[in-house]
Amino acid sequence: MFSRRLLDASLALALALPFAAQVPTELQAVHRAGQTFLTWREMPTANKRYRIYRSTSALHTTVDLKSADLLGEVDERSSRNQGRSLASGVEHMWIIEDAGAELAVDQGLFVYTAEAAANRAFYAVTSVQAGGENRTLMPGLNATQTGLRETPAAPEPVRQSVGSEGEVWGHWVGNRDTPLQPALNLFPSRGYDFQVQPGDAPGPHGLVLRLHAAGQTYLQAWPQRFETPQDVDILSFSDLMPYTSWSFWFGSHESLPAAPTADTTVSNYTQRRIAWTMDWLTARLGAAHDPERVYVIGGSMGAIGGMYLLNEYPERFAAALLRNGLYDLLATDYRNPDTFENLFGAFDLGLRTRDGLLMTQRTNAVFMAGRDLAQAWPIVRTLSGRNDETVGWMSAMGLFHGLAELGRPAVHYFDERDHNPRGYWHELEHSLLTRTFNTRRDRPTLRFTGCTLDDDAGDGTRTIGDAVGTINGYVDFDPKTASTSLDALAFEIYLRAQGVLDDAPEPTAWAALTPWRTGAFQPQPGEAVHYTLREQGTLVDEHLLFPDTYGHVRTPPVPLSRTRRDCRFERDTPATHQELFLGGAPIPGDGFQAVLRGTPGTSWTLFLALGNARGPNGQLLGGSSSLLNGSFGSSGVADLHLPLPRSLPLGSHLWARARIDQHLSAPRNVSIQPWPGQDPPRFR
């Protein structure tokens, strides 16, 4: 019996040898962490492609392939780690198991992420050349003989290298949804590198997502390790993509490489891959990671992708720094719109994302910023060049104006640069990085709107406006002292005077303030919020503010100086319940506020006069401002903003009294404050 089995095996091997050269060989299948890794020895003939089949029953013959699941097709370089090879300048193959060796050049690789549990999964690999497929199966050579047990689970990246430049990991994704994650690629079995460069400071670290520009690798992205504080870890990605080279950190239409039709969908699979990697890394870091300090930074394509990422996941980031970006694909002054139309479909075709948005809306930063004003955004800092023809100038201008109108926190710098980042503001980048990394997601932020020191960015035409300038760069708040509670927000606000390029050119200025990321401080529409501004304890501005439908409040323009001033927003203070409120510290030439409270539908009259600390002297304020009449609306609140003459004498007092229905209020007065130097906005 033994001799007969040996004879049969020898005969089978002899018959197989002529065919073995015509099929892939050495097929191996290993399942771990929810993924099946298939390797095989490629055929010696050049220009071969390989098709991978899966079945829950054994694959013995060509007939068995008819009922098998075709998972995908790869070329003859599937074992090559393209991203690491380009980054290092040395050819590298993939490592597919912890502490394992690189695959051989002539090995094939396919990674399948399990869609469902299976007790017995069988695989086969066939070859394709010039469009023709050799479907010959030889169990033990190009078809597995033993069923593989597969279980859906969270995939685990495999470390490719570790050294002075940090750790490089390989992560394989596919084009099929699984119970644990949606498809993270348009194509099957795509391997991507990501790099982790930890800082060496003690304590929990922040994390910056570093997105490279087109033509760069994960090693070359900005900022480099020496530019990043040691209490911030760096996570860098690769955005290599077949047919188009890049996905611009977003994804592509789902018909690629074929032309799309009007009903083709655009998928953001690259963004989903980035989010998955962030989640994996932060879970691995555990307590060593500070979730309130996550940032995204990038230049050129990295800035474009960074804005796309903010639009998708604004709640995940504390701040962003974006250099030389394109923020609206319908702008008409940038080079090579065909690059984006190849990815996202011709703009006039009007392709939509999976959630129904037009792709031209999804790639418009202002549209996305205004889509849900109840959702807070991180602080966005941008650097742009008037002479940048690669990404244009028009979309940057649209971003400046759009974020200002929406009240989103943002700071913008522009100069004479083309797409080269070395413009006037280049030397400020270190300071901008520091400010970005000092921001925390769990502390409130401020939007400064209409700062009177802002430079003129013009109307989007390259030659109109200041060649070099900033919007909101001269004014700031201290993110380290900003705080929020159920009842109050507190900020230190100031004009810059730190000996850097964006120091304020004047000692005083005006700007409106809008708090964001207010945490437990959530005033309701109709509720009064008491705002005060003090310098070393002395009141310099005061208003009652009323939230909009999203719970946001915005001050009128307030006086700023190089000295830090304490700014507070408070709920349920005595001032919010007065029947007659006068805004403290009025300034000649500015407006002042009077708020009256009463029963909806009843009448009110406000009397105003000038005087001194002892009382009014009979001198009216002037014009129609001395006597005002009206009736209360449904809120029972009359919120009046009245102009003050610039000629009011210093030291005088403004006196007011109100008749509310048939009741006469107690008189109130406020003293006129010194002129702050810079004209209020209404006089500019």
Per-residue pLDDT tens over the stretch 121-135: 999 999 999 889 999
Domain count, the chain: 4
Best CA proximity match to 502, nearest among 467, 469, 458: 469
The Cα–Cα gap between 679 and 684 comes to: 7
The per-residue pLDDT for 404 is 97
Per-residue confidence (pLDDT) for residue 588, from 0 to 100: 87
Crossing angle between the packed helical segments 301-312 and 269-285, to the nearest 10 degrees: 80
Residue bearing the bigger pLDDT, 617 or 567: 567
Which two three-digit tokens encode residue 168? 């490089």
244 and 391 assigned to the same domain = yes
Residue 365 pLDDT class (50, 70, 90 cuts) = very high
Residue 408 within a domain: yes
pLDDT score recorded for residue 679: 76
Q: Check if the beta carbon of residue 35 is closer than 8 Å to that of residue 23.
A: no
Question: Domain span at residue 654?
Answer: 580-684
**Same domain as 356, residue 242:** yes
Q: How confident is the model at residue 21 (pLDDT cuts 50, 70, 90)?
A: low
Residues 261 and 366 in one domain: yes
How far, CA to CA in Å, does 97 sit from each of 25, 101, 161, 356?
21, 8, 12, 40
pLDDT band with cut points at 50, 70 and 90 for residue 2: very low
Q: Assign residue 121 the CATH number of its domain.
A: 2.60.40.10
CATH number at 373 reads: 3.40.50.1820
CA distances from 116 to 112, 124, 150, 155 (A): 11, 19, 8, 14
pLDDT at 208: 98
Based on the fold, state whether residues 289 and 432 are members of the same structural domain. Answer: yes
Tokens of 436: 């970005």
Residue count of the chain, please give it.
684
The pLDDT value recorded for residue 20 is 53
Q: Please check whether residues 129 and 42 belong to one and the same domain.
A: yes
pLDDT at 605 (0 to 100): 95
| Segment among 210-219, 442-451, 520-529 with least mean pLDDT | 520-529
Mean pLDDT, rounded, of the chain: 93
206 and 355 together in one domain: yes
User: Please, what sign has the CA dihedral across residues 50, 54, 59, 65?
Assistant: negative
pLDDT for the residue 566: 98
Q: Of the given ranges (105-109, 120-124, 537-541, 572-576), which has the lowest mean pLDDT? A: 572-576
Percentage, residues of the chain above pLDDT 90: 87
Examine the domain organization and report whether 621 and 564 are in the same domain: no
The whole model's pTM is what?
0.93
Cβ of 97: how many Cβ atoms within 10 Å? Answer: 11
CA distance 509 to 476: 12
- pLDDT by residue (tens digit) across 298-314? 999 999 999 999 999 99
**Mean pLDDT throughout 193-203?**
97
Q: Are residues 480 and 510 in the same domain?
A: yes
